[in-house]
């Protein structure tokens, strides 16, 4: 599932020699190779970045980083505030329990 999938490699077709053999001929026939048609380097479309699209990509990436950073910092602050409030509640409850045990 996580193994990379490579596109098939582009190879030029191998020429197949044509042999003209005749039974009565003693001279070997000259074979001409089949013409090789050029194969494009890649069938994948190329992406051309213009200066405007580069700025859009950089701006979009910056916005994503800032938004994710803001969300993570706010979650960290929420956890810290919750921890401090639980600690304060624990101290108040401990104080109330100690006061009730001492009869005050």
pLDDT (0 to 100) of residue 33: 75
Confirm whether 88 is domain-assigned: yes
Backbone angles phi, psi at 67, to 5 degrees: -65, -45
Pairwise CA distance, residues 74 & 76, whole Å: 5
In a domain, 78, yes or no: yes
Domain that holds residue 96: 69-104
Q: Which residues contact 31 (CB under 8 A, 6 or more apart)?
A: 17, 18, 19, 20
Residue 90, in any domain of the structure: yes
Distance CA 104, CA 93 (A): 15
pLDDT at 22: 47
> Global pTM?
0.45
Has residue 86 been placed in a domain? yes
Residue 2 lies in a domain: no
* 31: three-class secondary structure by DSSP: coil
| Residue stretches of the chain with pLDDT short of 70 | 1, 12-15, 17-30, 39-42, 104
């Amino acid at each position: 599932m996580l193994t990379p999938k490579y596109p098939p490699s582009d190879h030029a077709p191998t020429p197949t020699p044509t042999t003209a053999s005749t039974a009565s001929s003693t001279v070997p026939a000259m074979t001409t190779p089949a013409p090789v048609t050029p194969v494009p380097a890649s069938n994948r479309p190329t992406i051309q970045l213009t200066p405007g699209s580069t700025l859009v990509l950089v701006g979009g990436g910056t916005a994503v980083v800032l938004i994710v950073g803001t969300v993570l910092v706010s979650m960290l602050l929420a956890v810290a505030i919750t921890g401090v409030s639980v600690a304060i509640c624990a101290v108040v409850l401990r104080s109330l329990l100690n006061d009730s045990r001492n009869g005050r």
